[in-house]
Amino acid sequence: MGLCIIAGGSGAGKTEYIYRKIIELSAKEPEGRFFVVTPEQATMQAQKEIVRLHPNHGTLNIDIVSFERLAYRIFSELSLPQPEVLDDTGKNMVLRRLAGEKMDELTMFSSHLNRPGFISEIKSMLSELYQYGATPEDLKAQTAGEHVGQILAAKLSDMEVIFEAFREFTKEKYITLEELLDVLCQVADQSALLKDSTMVLDGYTGFTPVQYRLIGILLKLCRNVFVTVSATMEPGMDLTAESDETDLFDMSRKMTGKLKQLAEENGAKIYQDLVFSKRPLVRFRNSPALDHLERTFFRYPYTRYYGGEREIMLVQAKNPADEIDFITNRIEELVKKDGYRYRDIALVCGDLSGYGREITRSFEENRIPLFLDENRDVSGNPLIRLIQSALDILQKGFDYESMFRYLRTGLVTEETEAVDRLEIYVRAMGIRGFAKWDAAWEKNFEGGENLNLVEMNAFREKIMEPLRVLRERCAGRGVPVAVVTDALKELLETLGAEEKLEQFSERFADSGMDREAREYEEIYGLVIELFEKFKSLLGDECVSRREYAEILSAGFSELSVGMIPAGADRVVCGDLKRTRLDKIKVLFFLGVSQGVVPADHSKGGLFTDNEREILKKNSMELAPTAREEGFMERFYLYLMMTKPSDQLILSYPTVTAEGKQTRPSGIIGEMKKRFPDLFIRETEAEKRPDVSVTAAGRAILSWLQEPDRLMDPENEKARELYSFLSSDEAKAKEMEDLAKAVAYSYKKGGIGRAAARELYGTLLRGSVTRMEGYAGCAYSHFLNHGLGLRAGREYELDLSDMGNLFHQSLDTFFRNVRDHGKDFRTITDAERRALVKRAVEEVSAKYRNTIMKSSARNAYLEKKVERITDRTVRALIYQIRKGDFEPEAFEVDVSTRIPLKDGEAVNLRGRIDRMDVFEDEDKIYVKIMDYKSGSTSFDLALLYHGLQLQLVVYMDAALKLQESRHPGKQAVPAGIFYYHIDDPVIDREDGMTDEEIEAGILRKLRMNGLVNSSLDVIRHMDREIEKESDVIPVALKDGYVQELKSSVAGGKRFAHLTDYVNQKLREMGEEILDGNVAVDPYKQGNRTACDYCPYHSVCGFDLKTDGYGFRRFKPMKAQEIWKEIDQEEDGEEMDSGAVEEAADKVDPVQLDPGKTKKKTLEGIESGKRKSPGKENDGKEIL
């Protein structure tokens, strides 16, 4: 019995030496037993190496195992019943159940049990306690330990409760993987295989307490135990000497010391250490720079090495994608020009989860065989989502989200268009709950006329049948786990999930997507195995649907698919700790950024680092703290960076994938200190475009973006490469397309009159809003009204719904006032409130399939609508009472027809929210109002550019309507107004009365728009006006209209405005029917047509692309706009209300020529009318 330590630096040849030694001994003793024990993930690699070195190319009497496999081997030898091991998946499920049962006994953990990942944290902590030999009693004792505060004591107490419950549950039925070696320790001395065997422990950087206990027993039983230890052995170095955690080889020293202590305690002989220290080390016999790196990395003081640029490279990339692009390019060069095999090359990432997807994509694109060494997470697999969504359907009552998550897994139906139509209907109609899903659908919604309800009901029946069966099987409050599990298995069988997954796997395999193919091939078996485990563990337990889903999800969280290399000649990619590399010649170390390498080891588990330190001081051994792990990671970095025999390439991005700036790791600086001749290389300068067709294509694309570079005399190779690929029959089309893509410039065009007629006909129908939309962007109009692309209707209230509710409530209120014979001027507050309440209730009861009753939120919004409607009515009644105009009609349907060329026309329909009138002997004055729930204000500039035409069109229609109703009377525009539906607040100043507050609110609710400048008309709308009206946008001074504080126009101006708007509509109508679909959004100040456009993902508008640009509206003053609109310039004929109206209706004093200017905005300019400005190429327009 003896212990022999084999020590040497990384690459010294320790492993090969001991393997050759074991092969030699095994050959001399064919009847002897020899074991090589390695970490689980290294066993296959060890087998390959021993087979390679063995003269008979076999392992014969040498067993290559992990500690766990060794345990099973001994159990089998002794014919012991195989203990049922509870793996991580089973642990998670049991812990979720036990934690739920012990909820009342938990103080800290109870509120976190449903947090994603929390059960896994408990499971990890439990595994750690088992590994380090802790018991529930130890946890209880620690609660009274020194410096243990209230929070730590509560955590320890909760963990003790769960640990004890878990121990009780597993007693005499199961053991954990961590307990497996405990069982082996109990029976090892009965094993004939172990007695007098030779044992090699290789590839370990340290051992857990239970492993040390087993090693102590092995030292008693085995003839010899050999252990390899990684540490640079300088002359006179003693591995058993005292060290602290700052020593790079502290782990190796502690492990050696512990092993020798165990040998002494168990009476085993300690042989003299075998030390490998000859320089250069075996691995680096042809790479002196890498040998120097092994000797000095993380050691102080150190010597410098000059040279080494061929063996060590430091590379800076723009971002991770650029970094990976450089690496694929370099790998192709290594293989195709330098003669390396893919298996000679490896990649290591500081953040494999962040880099893995992009590496896979890039390697597939470049056809580089890759093995990504990670367990593939399957939480997003369609089968997992199918099961979870089916359980959610039961738990949440057939809600929208769960149903369509279920339908869109690809395992329920392949009729995706039918699912799309179903979703449109369900969202618009607010279908939720089993009763609505189970009943036939008979009603349709506005805009859903193209949906075939017969076909939709047939499809609904098809998808509901298996869900009905599942619902029936799982009915009741508490159902046995086995019953629910069998019902889910039946659902999967009914849907044919296994066959569909096999089809997916075959498609992935055909596309070269090996990882996805393997996942889809294995997932069904893994899930069925999990179901059986669930039934075995908790089959008779009765649980609620929620509890079942939570326990099952805890099991799913531990499922993963291990990847197997599809071939030997592949680039291996992995991380620092998990991945085992052997015989690597070139190593790429990616993502060597600050905070990533070395990693931030702040633990996110149940116990903080400070709490772990306290427990450690109280003699409770646990896994290393973050500080200790930080020192340990230096050792793992040393092991990894000394793996390659020929070349080490370290790279880092300057910007993360999310666009955040990042700095290189301190390792880069350490490398430059030890190798002064190293310099930072830029990826662009290092890439070789001629290593593959793919690389050439990417390089050419880059060159084409800067055409001048192609003509540079130094770029002869680029031109040759482009000419070569362009002449290649297989690549010529691709090169042509590349050139076209880079040279792309957007050209405004149309679809032609013929296509436009097919889309729109010869009569353009719609609303003024449609034409305003065209003025904003012709392409948006084409998508909306030409192709009919619209966002799906949602069964929820949005801003447009709120506007509709306000409009309908106001209309209903005013109609009810009339129907009840009430007068707006005399109606009481109580009557007003009652009628408002009734109006809102009437509207809400009918609105969108009773949506207002569908949720507490909508019920609250109904109250809000009532409150704001009442505030609006109060303000509107106040405005009516201030003037002489009477509301004549509400929600007035109007239409106007504008003739175009060739017999075509624009036919616009609309609805005036309210029309008020005032009559005298020969005239009828008309005021129209449009209620806006948004903050729309009258803007003459927007009107000028065609973006705010509605009020003018409505006034024109209203005037014609009044003249038809009152023959012989002239209809005169009194004003066009927007009323902002709002419930404003004002700042209350000291001493303000309620009346002053109300007056302030009413001022904020004043109508905005354009008022006839006649003082008579103004006073008929606000009899009490003195300085500034709180009803209309007019201010007076000395009895005259103040231009700067008013929005007014005379009668002729209103007429000119109408002519201008009609001409604008005529021009737009002609353009639409000519087929204009240009992507030409407007921009005015900070406002653009794109701000709320739903077609961003369709139009392709991009200011970086040549040809795209905004139509920029030049800022114009009102006077400039009126000058453009007015048809005549006549300085003598002034367009002032005071002048234009009959003299006998105006105070003669106001006709004083010296005062006329104060009463007008400006005169009517004479001269030829300018046509509306044409806008092109993004230039400013007038």
According to the model, what pLDDT value does residue 1142 have?
A: 31
At 454, list the tokens: 């017969």
Nearest to 505 by CA among 494, 492, 518: 518
Residue 940: alpha-carbon gap to chain centroid: 42
Q: How far is Cα 1072 from Cα 170, in angstroms, rounded to an integer?
A: 77
Of 401, 442, 390, 392, nearest to 423 by C-alpha is: 401
Task: Kindly state the tokens that stand for 1182.
Answer: 């007038």
The amino acid occupying position 167 is R
Q: Which of 584, 130, 653, 174 is nearest to 373 (CA)?
A: 584
CA 632, 636, 637 angle in degrees (round to 5)? 110
pLDDT of residue 402: 95
List the beta strands (DSSP E) in 630-719.
647-653, 680-682
Q: Could you tell me the fold of the domain covering 288-374+566-684?
A: Rossmann fold (3.40.50)
Cβ-based neighbours of 859, under 8 Å, separated by 6 or more:
852, 853
Mean pLDDT by 10 residues, the chain (1182 residues): 94 95 94 94 91 90 95 93 83 89 89 83 90 89 86 92 92 86 94 96 93 96 96 80 85 94 95 92 95 93 92 94 91 92 94 88 87 83 96 94 96 94 89 92 80 93 96 89 95 96 93 86 94 89 88 87 76 87 94 86 74 87 82 91 96 90 93 95 74 65 60 63 72 73 78 92 92 94 89 66 85 88 89 91 79 73 88 92 92 92 92 93 93 87 93 95 91 94 83 85 91 92 89 88 84 91 94 93 91 87 86 88 70 36 32 32 29 34 26
User: Which residue, among 833, 815, 822, has the nearest Cα to 871 in the 3D structure?
Assistant: 833
Neighbours of 28 (CB within 10 A): 8
Q: Residues 1025, 1029, 1034, 1038: is their CA dihedral positive or negative?
A: positive
- What does the alpha-carbon distance between residue 17 and residue 13 come to, in Å, rounded to a whole number? 6
The H or E element containing residue 616 is: helix 609-617
Q: How high is the pLDDT of residue 526? A: 93
- What are the structural domain ranges in the chain? 2-83+180-278, 86-173, 288-374+566-684, 377-561, 693-742
Phi/psi of residue 35, nearest 5 degrees:
-120, 135
Of 372, 295, 285, which Cα lies nearest the Cα of 641?
A: 295
CA–CA distances in Å: residue 40 to residues 312, 580, 622, 1098: 31, 10, 22, 52
| Orientation angle between helical segments 288-296 and 666-674, nearest 10 degrees | 120
Residue 588: which residues within 8 A CB-CB, separation 6 or more? Answer: 327, 330, 331, 345, 346, 347, 348, 649, 651
Long-range contacts of 741-744 (CB under 8 A, 24+ apart): 742/701, 742/704, 742/705, 743/704, 744/1105, 744/1106
Supply the pTM of this predicted model: 0.68
CA 834 – CA 634 distance, rounded (Å): 78
Give the containing element (helix H, strand E) for 696. helix 693-705
Residues paired with 299 in a beta bridge: none
780-787 long-range CB contacts below 8 Å, 24 or more apart?
Answer: 780/1081, 780/1089, 780/1093, 780/1095, 780/1099, 781/1072, 781/1077, 782/751, 782/1077, 783/1095, 783/1098, 783/1099, 784/1095, 785/760, 786/756, 786/759, 786/760, 786/1077, 787/759
Domains 288-374+566-684 and 377-561 alike in fold: no
> Which residues have a Cβ under 8 Å from the Cβ of 317 and sit 6 or more positions away?
323, 326, 651, 652, 653, 654, 683
Which among 723, 733, 582 has a CA at the least distance from the CA of 574?
582
Q: Transcribe 301-340 into DSSP letters.
A: S-------TTTEEEEEESSHHHHHHHHHHHHHHHHHTS--
Q: For residues 200 and 226, what is the distance between their CA atoms, to the nearest angstrom? A: 5
Question: 3-state SS of 415-445?
Answer: CHHHHHHHHHHHHHHCCCCHHHHHCCCCCCC
* Residue 352 token pair: 């494999």
Rounded CA gap, 701 and 1006, in Å? 60
For position 1136, what pLDDT does the model report? Answer: 37
Q: What are phi and psi of 750, to 5 degrees?
A: -140, 180
pLDDT, residue 239, reads 82
| Spatial CB neighbours of 668, under 8 Å, sequence gap ≥ 6 | 314, 592, 650, 652, 680
Yes or no: is domain 377-561 CATH 1.10.486? yes
Nearest to 783 by CA among 541, 1070, 1043, 1094: 1094
| Cα–Cα distance for residue pair 649/678, rounded to 1 Å | 11
Architecture of domain 2-83+180-278: 3-Layer(aba) Sandwich (3.40)
